[in-house]
Chain A
């Protein structure tokens, strides 16, 4: 189900870092890893990610619950590669019609699957340890995001759990009014689409009212806003960002030094 509760201990040393720092670190760590297809660099990255996990106060079980769908994606990668790998050099392990499995194919598959996890994990960890309100505050105070947009998005985000309840209410209201699909799958799909549409309409209506309520409390009055919740971006936050960059580069460096590096383009 959709969970909004933080899943981490808030006092863990890295979970406490500034949300912008965490987000920047996650991106600076993940994006360079996209540049290679080899298994070595992502393997190093994953090792590091798992090693720092306790510092974020996230338990391994929680992380696994969030990322297990990636295992399915990994299977997809494997199937696709067996059928459509660009590079089929190396020792042939299996040859059955269109299915040609070579050592290179397997190595590429390993690289892609590891990369999938290496790239996804930092973001998953960061978002699991970040409160939306803090993220919006930090984006405004430390990343110079426009306050009206960040706060507006945050206010809309608050509606999210309500949308789940609203969905149930719409379904019940329709049943009470004799609107029902029965067993016909086409009718079911149509009812699903119409329920989703009603939900969207309701959400926009709520949004319009919320905007009025925000204006009523001086949201767009043209006065410079002050901030009630200070977000600090200190030395430790810089350190996190720099460390993420250095470690990601180091992982790539090791891969280059070992001669396994395979650039994405070229």
Chain B
């Protein structure tokens, strides 16, 4: 896996990373509506809604796995957040701050492997860390007034769990599926398909 020795981003890296972010910006928008709509379902134990959290974090992991360059995870998540703000997300500019913090989590995971490993364990770690970033932000910024044991901690744990499963494992599976269609042929992630 030594194809991506250079860390310089090609145009195709930039544009495709941004396209992934824009695509997910749209999905965020739809997901936000869904999140609202199913609010009452979780009324019995509101913290459990965090199981849906992972979807917000997919672009961070997906971008890192596909582009394989330093900054990819951060760029994708931050652009996705900005796009959803531009589309009129009701949360305004705070989404950008949140996106940056979440992106940093995944970025840290890829950096820990020095941008050399893009296997499932890396993806899971990236999912977990991006979830950790999200959980920390929410723990302090949004959930401070709630009870620690019955809300804040379960919410944070579920966020990390959801991020690991949905963003980590999901992002990994999505990358494989995309590679199978041939659209990633100009990326190392797509060329691995030809080898198997």
Do they bind each other? yes
Query: Is A236 an interface residue when CB atoms closer than 8 A count as contact?
Result: no
Query: Is A3 an interface residue when CB atoms closer than 8 A count as contact?
Result: yes
Is B85 touching A204 in the complex (CB atoms < 8 A)? no
Give B85-111 as 1s and 0s: 1 = Cβ < 8 Å from A's Cβ atoms: 111111111111100000000000000
Give B9-31 as 1s and 0s: 1 = Cβ < 8 Å from A's Cβ atoms: 11110111111111101110100
Known: A208-B183, A264-B141. A123 touches B85 (CB 8 A): yes
Give the residues in chain A near B22, CB-CB below 8 Å. Answer: 153, 156-157, 159-160, 163, 203
| Cβ-defined partner of B18 (8 Å) among A27, A86, A153 | A153
- Which residues of A (156-190) have their CB < 8 Å from a CB of B? 156-157, 159-160, 163-164
The smallest C-beta distance from B64 to any residue of chain A, in angstroms, reads 15
Residue total for B at the interface (Cβ-Cβ under 8 A): 57
Give the residues in chain B near A67, CB-CB below 8 Å. Answer: 90
- Which residues of B (19-59) have their CB < 8 Å from a CB of A? 19-23, 25-27, 29, 32-33, 36, 39, 43, 46-47
Is B12 touching A211 in the complex (CB atoms < 8 A)? yes
Is A87 touching B11 in the complex (CB atoms < 8 A)? no
Give the residues in chain B near A199, CB-CB below 8 Å. Answer: 23
Stretch at the interface among A29-37, A89-97, A245-253: A29-37
Query: Is A10 an interface residue when CB atoms closer than 8 A count as contact?
Result: no
Stretch at the interface among B118-126, B127-135, B144-152: B144-152
Is A264 touching B140 in the complex (CB atoms < 8 A)? yes
Give the residues in chain A near B15, CB-CB below 8 Å. Answer: 152, 155-156, 207-208, 210-211, 214
Q: Can you name the residue of chain B whose Cβ is closest to the Cβ of A37? A: B145
Cα A157 to Cα B17 with chains together (Å): 11
Cα A152 to Cα B69 with chains together (Å): 16
Known: A123-B85, A212-B12. A152 touches B18 (CB 8 A): yes
Query: Is A265 an interface residue when CB atoms closer than 8 A count as contact?
Result: yes
Give the residues in chain A near B9, CB-CB below 8 Å. Answer: 148-149
Give the residues in chain B near A80, CB-CB below 8 Å. Answer: 46, 146, 151
Query: Is B115 an interface residue when CB atoms closer than 8 A count as contact?
Result: no
A-B contact pairs, 26 of them (CB 8 A): A3-B87, A23-B93, A30-B94, A31-B94, A37-B144, A66-B90, A69-B36, A83-B46, A84-B147, A84-B150, A85-B145, A108-B145, A122-B92, A122-B93, A126-B93, A148-B14, A156-B19, A204-B16, A204-B184, A207-B12, A208-B12, A208-B183, A211-B15, A211-B16, A214-B11, A220-B11
Residues of B within 8 A of A (CB): 9-12, 14-23, 25-27, 29, 32-33, 36, 39, 43, 46-47, 75, 79, 82-83, 85-97, 140-141, 144-148, 150-151, 177-178, 181, 183-184, 186
